[in-house]
Amino acid sequence: MADFVGQITPLLSGTISNATPLILTAVGAVFSERSGVMNIGLEGMMLISAFAGAVGGYFAGSVWVGLLFALLAGLVFALIHALMCVTFEADQIISGTAINLLALAAPGFIMLIIFGHKGTTPTVPNFNNLSIPLLSRIPFVGPALFDQDAIVYIMYLLIPLAYFVLFKTSFGLRLRATGESPESVDVAGISVSRMRYYGVAISGLMAGLGGLYLSTGLLSAFTENMTGGRGFIALAAMIFGRWHPIGATLAALLFGFAEAVATRYGQGFVPVEFSQMIPYVLTILVLAGVGGRAIPPAAIGRPYRKE
């Protein structure tokens, strides 16, 4: 029993660390898909943001400059996706796939030019853990929840903020209406295109934060393809959470917990490759079990053409 109690803090800490990029990306994706734009380009937005944040932080010598670079990269790729899907009415799945492929190839090419090699960047500035007085002293959960870096604390704030914006403001009402009935939004004199641009842009910024956490939170460098499918897991978490920021957060925590358990306990009993498969197998099971019953926004994936 004592051994089990002693494992609570590291297991919870690992859950938070693994879930943070998933939560940020999944909650951001809620905005995009609630506006009616399917965003499977989350993987690419995370990856390019992780790279831009690492490179920006390396040359500026400041992790906060890296944060700005990451947000900018996520926003630019999100706006490219919005331009293709909203303005040019391209197929949203194809556009998202193109975003993923571009983000997968670009970092290696740019690293070869800047650093003279591919693979991994030099060590970059990272976010140091900030211990919150009193709260970090709560037994078991305190050190795991309140001895984290700045991005984790930003995540804590963004979850209730996302809920408030989506369900308690006129902007959120318009965004949700755009994904359900764009014709009604248009009749009300609200620009459907603008609302969809807003939704996709928010998802890009949030994915940018999630990607940055990988290169400056979990690690202190960027490694090619370091997202490792987390963008797709975040997409699954959003679907499992039924396009709701709280539901997406809880689903992402489930995936983070699975990864923490696999990392901490799986390697002693099964080959490491099998333990690393657990989050991805869980993703497949979730999509197979929930995806068919989850009801997406009515107008998602459908370009709107004003009559």
For 169-215, what is each residue's pLDDT tens digit? 999 999 999 999 999 999 999 999 999 999 999 999 999 999 999 99
Task: Average the pLDDT over 122-149 and give the result.
Answer: 90
Q: How far apart are CA 134 and CA 170, in angstroms?
A: 37
pTM here is 0.93
How confident is the model over 160-170, as pLDDT tens digits?
Answer: 999 999 999 99
Higher-pLDDT residue of 23, 130 = 23
d(CA 74, CA 212): 10
Nearby residues of 131 by Cβ (< 8 Å), 6 or more positions away: 146, 147
Q: How far is 75 from 155, CA to CA, in rounded Å?
A: 18
Total of domains in the chain: 1
pLDDT averaged over every residue in the chain: 91
Q: Residue 277: pLDDT above 80?
A: no
Each residue's pLDDT tens digit, 280-297: 777 777 766 665 567 899
Report if residue 307 sits inside a domain.
no
Q: Give me Rg for the CA atoms of the chain.
A: 19
| Residue 273, H or E segment | helix 272-290
What's at 58, amino acid-wise?
Y
Report yes or no on 298 lying in a domain: no
Domain that holds residue 103: 2-290
* Inside any domain, residue 167: yes
* Assigned domain for 187 exists: yes
DSSP code, position 131: E
Mean per-residue pLDDT for 4-16?
A: 80
100 domain-assigned = yes
* pLDDT for res 260: 87
The pLDDT value given to residue 266: 60
Task: Kindly state whether residue 303 falls inside one of the protein's structural domains.
Answer: no
Is residue 120 classed exposed, middle or buried when 0-12, 13-18 and 19+ CB atoms within 10 A define those classes? middle
Answer whether residue 198 is part of any domain.
yes
**CATH classification of the domain holding 24:** 1.10.3470
The verdict on residue 121 lying in a domain is: yes
Q: What is the mean pLDDT of residues 155-162?
A: 97
pLDDT reading at 4 higher than 60: no
Segment 219-252, tens digit of pLDDT: 899 999 999 899 999 999 999 999 999 999 999 9
Residue 17 in this model has a pLDDT that exceeds 90: yes
- pLDDT value for 123: 94
Q: What mean pLDDT do residues 129-143 have?
A: 88
Q: Give Cα separations from 230 to 82, 210, 234, 247, 252 (angstroms).
A: 21, 10, 6, 17, 10
Please give the pLDDT value at position 32: 98
| CA dist., res. 256 & res. 188, Å (int) | 42
Q: Tell me which of 74 and 11 has the higher pLDDT.
A: 74
Residue carrying structure tokens 């002293």: 137
pLDDT one-digit tens code per residue, 32-80 = 999 999 999 999 999 999 999 999 999 999 999 999 999 999 999 999 9
